């Protein structure tokens, strides 16, 4: 999607590109870091990569590790926590955005933002 917004406008509601929420203050940098880099947005695959050294260090859990590794493609797709949502600044801008934009961008009230990481590699 090719659309942009100044940082002072993020978090405000827009209709057809016009700010309808002028009283909302600018988001502070720590809050923006929390929105864009939220660890809670990690996939189950990422969470397992963090605890795998412990799991593999216990012989009784070797079967569990094998089961998880067999399902790693599915675990990459599961995010147990929803990413942060902010008002959709591109709502109603169908005529100003490229036709490749997803349909939800034109109509949804909020957009969810998160940093996408490559899935962990299993050693």
- Segments making up each domain of the chain, as ranges: 1-40+82-123, 43-78
- Cβ count within 10 A of residue 108: 15
Q: What average pLDDT does the chain have?
A: 79
Contacts 24+ apart (CB under 8 A), 46-49: 46/117, 46/119, 46/120, 47/80, 48/75, 48/120, 49/120, 49/122
Q: What is the pLDDT of residue 114?
A: 64
> pLDDT tens across 44-83, in order?
888 888 888 988 888 888 888 888 888 888 888 887 777 7
Residue 102 banded pLDDT, cuts 50, 70, 90:
confident
Instruction: Report angle CA 102, 108, 112 to the nearest 5 degrees.
Output: 80
Contacts for 8 with CB less than 8 Å, ≥ 6 apart: 26
pTM above 0.85, yes or no: no
């Amino acid at each position: 999607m090719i659309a942009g917004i100044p940082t002072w406008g993020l978090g405000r509601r827009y209709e057809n590109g016009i700010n309808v929420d002028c009283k909302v203050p600018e988001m502070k940098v720590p809050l923006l870091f929390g929105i864009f880099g939220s660890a809670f947005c990690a996939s189950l695959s990422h969470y397992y990569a963090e605890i795998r050294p412990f799991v593999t260090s216990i012989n009784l859990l070797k079967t569990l590790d094998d089961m998880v590794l067999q399902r790693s493609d599915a675990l990459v797709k599961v995010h147990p926590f929803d990413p942060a949502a902010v008002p959709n600044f591109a709502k109603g801008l169908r005529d100003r955005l490229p036709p490749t934009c997803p349909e939800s961008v034109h109509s949804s009230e909020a957009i969810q933002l998160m940093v996408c990481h490559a899935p962990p590699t299993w050693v």
